[in-house]
Amino acid sequence: MSSRHTRAALVLAGSLALTACGGGAPELEVSGAYVPEPVMADMAGGFLTVHNSGDEADALTSVTSDSAGDVQIHKTVGNKMQRVGSLPVPADGDLRLGRGGSHLMLMDLKEKPTEGGKIQLTLRFEKSGPVKVTVPVKATNHVPEK
């Protein structure tokens, strides 16, 4: 084999090795999603966990729903809610959206969600494709089991 062919073979082998073991994509799964039946008819909170079993981080960048005119991503700093453009989903870790912390705000609801109903959400991420989630509406005072 000529040295040119040897170099080409080494470059190809090296790039295949990098592809096989390098920078695997995020692997996202959503669990524990719920929306408590809201007190007010025009807005509701949304809670869920995004688990990333991949070895590359991602970020939740937007959420949409046919049930709401707008879905905002909020984080809580001190005692104040702040709208943010994204939230990180760490590699081999979780993004937890829950009461008293980061959460979704469903604004301009088309109709008030009632316990036993369902809301469709589409979560969009920086690197991964969109994830569609069917979210149950729970009692206003629902607290998920740990």
pLDDT of residue 23: 58
Whether residue 15 has pLDDT greater than 80: no
What distance in Å separates the CA atoms of residue 106 and residue 121, rounded to the nearest whole number?
Answer: 10
pLDDT in tens, 46-83: 999 999 999 999 999 999 999 999 999 999 888 899 99
What distance in Å separates the CA atoms of residue 69 and residue 82, rounded to the nearest whole number?
Answer: 19
Domain boundaries along the sequence of the chain: 28-138
Dihedral Cα 71, 118, 40, 131, nearest 10 deg = -10
Whether residue 116 has pLDDT greater than 60: yes
Per the rule left: phi > 0, alpha: psi between -120 and 50, beta: everything else, 100 is: left
What is the mean pLDDT of the segment spanning 33-57?
Answer: 96
pLDDT of residue 143: 86
Q: Which CATH superfamily is domain 28-138 in?
A: PCu(A)C copper chaperone (2.60.40.1890)
Tokens of 110: 């088309």
Strands 28-36 and 80-84: unpaired
